[in-house]
Amino acid sequence: MIKGELATGIFVNAASVIMRLGVATTILTGANLILSGQVDFMTLFMFLLVITRVYAPFDQSLALIAEVFMSEVSAERLMEIYDTKSAGGKSEFKPNGHDIVFDNVSFSYSDGKVLDGVSFTAKEGEVTALVGESGSGKSTCARLAARLWDADSGKITVGGIDIDTIEPETLLTDYSMVFQDVVLFDDTVMENIRLGKHGATDEEVMQAARDAKCDEFVQKLADGYNTKIGENGTKLSGGERQRISIARALLKNAPIVLLDEATASLDVENESKVQSALSRLLKGKTVLVIAHRMRTVENADKIVVLKDGKVAEQGSPSQLKAKEGSLFVKMHDLQAKEAKWSV
Ligand SMILES: Nc1ncnc2c1ncn2[C@@H]1O[C@H](COP(=O)(O)OP(=O)(O)OP(=O)(O)O)[C@@H](O)[C@H]1O
Ligand SMILES: [Mg+2]
């Protein structure tokens, strides 16, 4: 589509250059003829008058042609949006518990499988850690678990119910998501947290903020909870933004928590604050965490190691550690070495 726009643009510009060249050539040739005495100025003037009159409609038509092409491209885009099927489903969701089960799930974005026959269970009350190299499909699993996309084959159930049959909006009332790229709005701290629960009272919001250890940095802001935090929270540090998103999740108190672990960029003090806020959030929930830190992984109840979109191994940390030639152990050792280097 972008190619189409480019081709049209180039065509219109080239034609317009050729036309302008016509006028320039007439002037140049005319000037030469005047100098050599073959025509007089009035004749050239008449020529120029005629030639600009002749070219004007062409110029206008060219502009119109360009617009026709452009609107065709826009229309194609519109049709694409209309043709995209919206994810439908029932607006009632009454699962039996909140175990998340991936059953032979495969998925591709546009070309090439990103997930290939992934099966695992994230149990209620447990922390299930997804680990694996960059690009192995961890975030994709989290997105599918929240039905941000539908699996191509296989199925994902929550409490025994196939999530494909539930309307996304209804489904998401049972999810809290704490992702790396937290979306914050240029509104007050209070309103940003209140997004977690529509109609929460100020006291509820502040309680969640205290539990998420937001309180101390909020006190330091000029207007406390009524301070505007700038577009996407630009006035806050990474750790502060995360704590706001944790406060939001605490307020929501949904039974499923999807967590793209984001503590990698935090300093030690901030990290332990975020960790203690998280531990409150995670209690008794079904937690699916994309873990980047070995500490989280070791404290998880279950680890699922992804490799090239497949489950390479899964089990408790101690089970995986005991396994001969375990990928998990290799990753663990590598991180331990890296940790030493950075000191
Ligand atoms: N929106 C998208 N459109 C097309 N391809 C995508 C999209 N998102 C991810 N991919 C591709 O899917 C594969 C898996 O991506 P995914 O984000 O799940 O990896 P990940 O395990 O979360 O990696 P990381 O540790 O770097 O976050 C990658 O090859 C990536 O390029
Ligand atoms: Mg990811």
Return the residue whose CA atom lies nearest to atom 25 of ligand 1. Answer: 134
Lowest mean pLDDT among 150-159, 261-270, 333-342: 261-270
Q: Is 95 domain-assigned?
A: no
CATH of the domain at 326: 3.40.50.300
For the cut 90, the answer to whether the pLDDT of residue 268 exceeds it is no
Domain boundary among 58, 83, 108: 83
Return the residue whose CA atom lies nearest to atom 24 of ligand 1. Answer: 134
Q: Is 277 domain-assigned?
A: yes
Are 75 and 109 within one domain? Answer: no
Question: Which residues are within 8 A (CB) of 47 and not within 5 positions of it... i.e. 6 or more apart?
Answer: 26, 30
Q: Is 335 domain-assigned?
A: yes
For the cut 80, the answer to whether the pLDDT of residue 273 exceeds it is no
Are 300 and 151 within one domain? Answer: yes
Return the residue whose CA atom lies nearest to atom 28 of ligand 1. Answer: 135
Give the atom of ligand 1 at the shortest distance from the alpha carbon of 130. 21
Are 41 and 129 within one domain? Answer: no
Task: Write phi, then psi, for 234 (nearest 5 degrees).
Answer: -60, -20
**From ligand 2's centre to the CA of 35, what distance in Å?**
74
Q: Is 92 domain-assigned?
A: no
- Contact 134 CB / ligand 1 (< 6 Å): yes
Are 76 and 121 within one domain? Answer: no
For the cut 50, the answer to whether the pLDDT of residue 343 exceeds it is no
Which of the ligands is closest to the CA of residue 145? 1
Give the atom of ligand 1 at the shortest distance from the alpha carbon of 132. 21
Q: Is 14 domain-assigned?
A: yes
Are 62 and 106 within one domain? Answer: no
Return the residue whose CA atom lies nearest to atom 2 of ligand 1. Answer: 109
Domain boundary among 83, 118, 143: 83
Are 145 and 279 within one domain? Answer: yes
Q: Is 224 domain-assigned?
A: yes
Q: Is 91 domain-assigned?
A: no
**From ligand 1's centre to the CA of 101, what distance in Å?**
21
CA-to-CA distance for 161 and 194, rounded, in angstroms? 29
Encoded tokens for 300: 């998880």
Query: How many domains, the chain?
Result: 2
**What is the reported pLDDT for 274?**
72
- Contact 194 CB / ligand 1 (< 6 Å): no
**What is the reported pLDDT for 265?**
54
Domain range for 41: 2-83
- Contact 132 CB / ligand 1 (< 6 Å): yes
CB 26 within 8 A of CB 47: yes
Lowest mean pLDDT among 51-60, 73-82, 164-173, 315-324: 51-60
Return the residue whose CA atom lies nearest to atom 19 of ligand 1. Answer: 135
**From ligand 1's centre to the CA of 6, what distance in Å?**
29
For the cut 70, the answer to whether the pLDDT of residue 266 exceeds it is no
Domain boundary among 21, 54, 83: 83
Q: What percent of the chain has pLDDT over 90?
A: 36
Are 77 and 202 within one domain? Answer: no
Are 144 and 16 within one domain? Answer: no
Residues 193-216 have a mean pLDDT of 89
pLDDT band at 23 (very low <50, low <70, confident <90, very high): confident
**From ligand 1's centre to the CA of 135, what distance in Å?**
5
Are 238 and 334 within one domain? Answer: yes
Are 53 and 193 within one domain? Answer: no
Give the atom of ligand 1 at the shortest distance from the alpha carbon of 136. 21
**From ligand 2's centre to the CA of 139, what distance in Å?**
4
Answer with the residue of higher pLDDT: 12 or 143: 143
Are 151 and 199 within one domain? Answer: yes
For the cut 70, the answer to whether the pLDDT of residue 2 exceeds it is no
Return the residue whose CA atom lies nearest to atom 4 of ligand 1. Answer: 109
- Contact 112 CB / ligand 1 (< 6 Å): no
CA distances from 198 to 34, 190, 192, 211, 252 (A): 81, 12, 11, 19, 9
Are 212 and 307 within one domain? Answer: yes
The rounded mean pLDDT for the chain is 85
- Contact 9 CB / ligand 1 (< 6 Å): no
**What is the reported pLDDT for 121?**
96
- Contact 114 CB / ligand 1 (< 6 Å): yes
Residues 9-15 have a mean pLDDT of 78
